[in-house]
Structure 1
Amino acid sequence: MTVNGLRQAAFALALLGMSGTAIAEPMPETDPVLSAESVRPRNDSVPKPVQMLRTLQLMQDQIAVGSTEAHIGQRGLLTILNTRFIGLGPDVWTDRRNVRAAIAFVLSGGSPQILRKLLEMGNPALALEDRAIVEGTLAYVEGREEEAKSKLMALDLAALPPMLAAQLALVQSALFVRTDAKRSSELLDYVRLQAPGTLLEEGALRRQVFVASQTGDMDKFLALTSNYLRRYRHSVYAGNFRQRLASALTRIDFGNDQVLFEGIVEVLKDLEREVRRDLYLLAARSSIEQGHTTSARMLADEARKLSDGDTTSATRAKLYRAAAMIVAPEAIDAAVADLESIDRSVLLESDAILLHSALSIAAQIRQMPSGQIAKSQKPSVPDTVIPAAPARIADARQAPEQLETLSKVRNSLSRIDKLIKQQTPTVQ
């Protein structure tokens, strides 16, 4: 842990009157290491689990509104609090409030070893329902999904303290998401109602945007996106949200819903100009790969409008638009001219591959009978062809060599997750 992280953690503890619990003496600037011994609390002033949990939650709520200092300090605070939780004696755990605080702490990023210790103690005072939650939580954070489901899915959330109920609802949502997206979304609604203004709500919103796009609930998708951008656009994890949003946009066929596209454009106005431009570019690139060529063109057009003065972005927008247009017989000549005029020196390697692939596909299209896609195929071409991941320009009756070539082109492209730096949220 860095010295700055230690300072932020110590400050968080002091805010709740816990500075008297023997935080280490100030460490030398040259020594960034915090030893477990240096944070061991005095026996006469041991903070309660509920106090320690609340300290962490307050810091995490600051992360939700964009505090990089809190983000830095979180790691240090977790190191301190893990040591203190582990050091608590058996008598502390006879109070179920402390047991539930330990559960919430582990779901907030604390060490699973704390729950393992509770189970190994064989505490007879541990209520049966609390034991099930401890076991289920431990299984969840350790990746034993089936066991977690068996212990946690039937919980009565209404019988639990609000914040713990919200955390466990977030867990249940994650366990439901692949089998029952509707129920998963309902649980995320519950989280947002139980824990407004917290990192839990911020994390629930990020997840729910993704779920809404999967279930095709576009009204909710737009509402959630607008909500997040208005309230949490500066979150430390906003980059993760933008990644989810870009991924969601690529699954929508805007060619069949102009009104929806206009709604997206309106909602995204809450973002900075550069962020909007990059989001449109990422979504346009991936829409090409998904075969949504009309969507790709529309997204690229929006990116181009925001690319004034940025040659690289303008070039990318031009590339994506032209790559999407080569499958339209009436536009192929203009699209090829645009592709050939692109300055390759400003392209990323993956975009250079896309440019080469688009030109290759265009050449194949021009060699087809009549120099264009067969008239009988024309109605289905615009949104089922994938140029440059590109195109399913041929049906099963066309030459196997063409299909093999197109397959190789698709496989050569970098997926969109290589264009975005992954940001992993710490909210469980």
Structure 2
Amino acid sequence: MKVNSLLKTALALVLTIVPGAAIAESEHPSEVKSTDNQPRSQPANTASPVQMLRTLQLMQDQIAVGSTEAHMGQRGLLTILDNRFMDLPSETWEDGKNIRAAIAFVLSGGNPQILRKLLEMSNPVIPIDDRSLVEGTLAYVEGREEESKGKLLSVNVKSLPPMLGAQLALVQSALIVRTDPKKSSELLDLVRLQAPGTLLEEGALRRQVFVASQTGDMKKFLALSSGYLRRYRHSIYAGNFRQRLASALTRADFGKDPALFDGIVEMLMDLEPDARRDIYLLAARSSIDQGQTHSARMLAEKAKELSEGDPASTARAKLYRAAAMIVSPETIGMAVEDLKGIDRTKLAASDAILLDSALSMAGQIRVMPGDKTADNSSKPSPPPSDVNSQQAPEQLQAVLKAQDALSRIDKLIKNQVSTVQ
């Protein structure tokens, strides 16, 4: 469905003037009123807050399964809905269901000024429980974390309608993830249980993968990652997920736990070969930066297996593999030959810098006393000349990061050589 037709369909739902025929998500079927008996809180000829919220959620659920049209149309729909929420008459908010719809709307990307308007109204008076939810939500979306904790962490999300409960569980999880990752993960379990197949579930699963990684629960990390890749690999946010997944893989030492690496390989089999290759490459580069050379070599070798027919990916895989191999006296000779054979025109600027730094580092290693791989004709490769001053600001960070990583590798090598001696 094209973006224009999708947006038109959404707007048609928003502009529905027959409330009983709209897609409202009522808490009880008996709450759906006929047009002949229109409730005061739902003025005639306009969509209710619940209807508008549900329309937005339907579009966002399409984003979770990869609809770029929905992603593009969301901004226009939000603009229209923001205006419609702000224009609703004050009697609309006599119904607590509409207040909770406004809270959910703002948590879905709506304008926070809607909640501020509710708090400033003198008539009707918002019930104390709903007022606390409104205040806490407004504090959260405006970045006032401590205030939002005081208002929202005490809320029993299971007592709320399922979708709003799922949204607030997602918020609670974010608020406590640094201090109580176990409880944060339990809340994300609740989100996935209450909102299956929605953008909420996609977001919860994506977050929970990294909570498991940070807490070292690699069994759960693998299970959740596999679940995400099977169900949401086409999500608009899947690219971000894969980058963070590659970064998370650097926390594992595959040299000490080969079975874990086998689990990673099996998990990634759910992806297309090109996607698998890209994750292996990202993870290999991140492992080099973190000094995890054994892991980097294993990841780069898997990337190389999937790089046939793609010269740029092949060059990257060879670079990361060779950069990892220079730490070992047994493999440094092979690594140098591989580094010299790489076509630097196939590399991005940051990888070309890594290539120069690796060659320079290898030259220094090979002339260390006691290194049996050195020969009399070996000379240290000169460091790249004036590299930093020639790089754009965004590349300078990559230069410094590569130099810092290779400095750590240099210390590792010196310790290893001292041990051999």
TM-score norm. by structure 1 comes to: 0.81
Aligned residue in 1 for 2:391:
none
Q: Secondary structure of the residue that 1:254 maps to in structure 2?
A: coil
Aligned residue in 2 for 1:389:
405
Q: Which has the higher contact order (CA 8 A, sep 6+)?
A: 1
Q: Secondary structure of the residue that 1:54 maps to in structure 2?
A: helix
Q: Alignment partner for residue 9 of structure 1, among 7, 10, 16?
A: 7
Separation in 2 of the partners of 1:357 and 1:132?
A: 57
Separation in 2 of the partners of 1:288 and 1:66?
A: 32
Separation in 1 of the partners of 2:407 and 2:183?
A: 36
Separation in 1 of the partners of 2:4 and 2:303?
A: 42
Separation in 2 of the partners of 1:256 and 1:263?
A: 14
| Structure 2 residues without counterparts, runs of 5 or longer | 20-41, 374-401, 416-421
Q: Secondary structure of the residue that 1:270 maps to in structure 2?
A: coil
**Equivalent residues in 2 for 1:4-83, closer than 5 Å:** 7-15=5-13, 18=16, 44-83=44-83
In the TM superposition, residue 340 of structure 1 has moved relative to its aligned partner by 1.1
Separation in 1 of the partners of 2:404 and 2:275?
A: 25
Amino acid across the alignment from 1:14: A
Q: Secondary structure of the residue that 1:256 maps to in structure 2?
A: coil
Aligned residue in 1 for 2:135:
135
Aligned residue in 2 for 1:36:
none
Are positions 1:233 and 2:233 aligned together? yes
Q: Secondary structure of the residue that 1:255 maps to in structure 2?
A: coil
Separation in 2 of the partners of 1:62 and 1:266?
A: 28
Are positions 1:126 and 2:142 aligned together? no
Q: Secondary structure of the residue that 1:392 maps to in structure 2?
A: helix
- 1:344-363 C-alpha deviation (Å, 9 max, x unpaired): 11111100110111111111
In the TM superposition, residue 44 of structure 1 has moved relative to its aligned partner by 3.9
Aligned residue in 2 for 1:95:
95
Change (3 A) 1:264 1:395: closer
Separation in 1 of the partners of 2:274 and 2:18?
A: 47
Separation in 2 of the partners of 1:72 and 1:251?
A: 35
Separation in 2 of the partners of 1:320 and 1:83?
A: 52
- 1:397-417 C-alpha deviation (Å, 9 max, x unpaired): x89xxxxxxxxxxxxxxxxxx
Separation in 2 of the partners of 1:309 and 1:110?
A: 46
Are positions 1:297 and 2:297 aligned together? yes
Separation in 2 of the partners of 1:49 and 1:220?
A: 38
Separation in 2 of the partners of 1:77 and 1:203?
A: 21
Change (3 A) 1:7 1:75: farther
- 1:291-316 C-alpha deviation (Å, 9 max, x unpaired): 11010000000000001111111111
Change (3 A) 1:310 1:6: closer
**Does the aligned pair in 1 maintain the 2:90–2:124 contact within 8 Å?**
no
Change (3 A) 1:354 1:372: farther
**Equivalent residues in 2 for 1:192-231, closer than 5 Å:** 192-231=192-231
- 1:247-305 C-alpha deviation (Å, 9 max, x unpaired): 11122111111111111111101111111111110110010001110100000000000
| Structure 1 residues without counterparts, runs of 5 or longer | 22-41, 374-385, 400-428
**Does the aligned pair in 2 maintain the 1:5–1:75 contact within 8 Å?**
no
Q: Secondary structure of the residue that 2:406 maps to in structure 1?
A: coil
Amino acid across the alignment from 1:389: A
**Does the aligned pair in 1 maintain the 2:86–2:114 contact within 8 Å?**
yes
Are positions 1:337 and 2:337 aligned together? yes
Aligned-residue identity in percent? 69
Change (3 A) 1:393 1:283: closer
Amino acid across the alignment from 1:53: L
Change (3 A) 1:117 1:7: farther
Q: Secondary structure of the residue that 2:255 maps to in structure 1?
A: helix
Q: Secondary structure of the residue that 2:269 maps to in structure 1?
A: helix
**Does the aligned pair in 1 maintain the 2:253–2:292 contact within 8 Å?**
yes
Aligned residues: 363
**Does the aligned pair in 2 maintain the 1:326–1:332 contact within 8 Å?**
yes
- 1:64-96 C-alpha deviation (Å, 9 max, x unpaired): 111222112211111111111000111111111
Separation in 1 of the partners of 2:324 and 2:403?
A: 6
Aligned residue in 1 for 2:320:
320
Aligned residue in 1 for 2:157:
157
Aligned residue in 1 for 2:177:
177
| Superposed structure 1 runs of 4+ greater than 6 Å apart | none
Change (3 A) 1:308 1:394: closer
**Does the aligned pair in 2 maintain the 1:280–1:299 contact within 8 Å?**
yes
Aligned residue in 2 for 1:267:
267
Separation in 1 of the partners of 2:322 and 2:269?
A: 25
TM-score norm. by structure 2 comes to: 0.82
Aligned residue in 2 for 1:369:
369
Q: CA RMSD in A?
A: 2.3
Aligned residue in 1 for 2:380:
none
Aligned residue in 2 for 1:284:
284
Separation in 2 of the partners of 1:48 and 1:151?
A: 27
Q: Secondary structure of the residue that 1:252 maps to in structure 2?
A: coil
**Does the aligned pair in 1 maintain the 2:361–2:410 contact within 8 Å?**
no
In the TM superposition, residue 5 of structure 1 has moved relative to its aligned partner by 5.2
Separation in 1 of the partners of 2:208 and 2:115?
A: 29
Separation in 2 of the partners of 1:74 and 1:138?
A: 21
Separation in 1 of the partners of 2:91 and 2:137?
A: 22
Separation in 1 of the partners of 2:136 and 2:364?
A: 57
Separation in 2 of the partners of 1:265 and 1:291?
A: 21
Change (3 A) 1:19 1:91: closer
Separation in 1 of the partners of 2:117 and 2:360?
A: 62
Amino acid across the alignment from 1:298: M
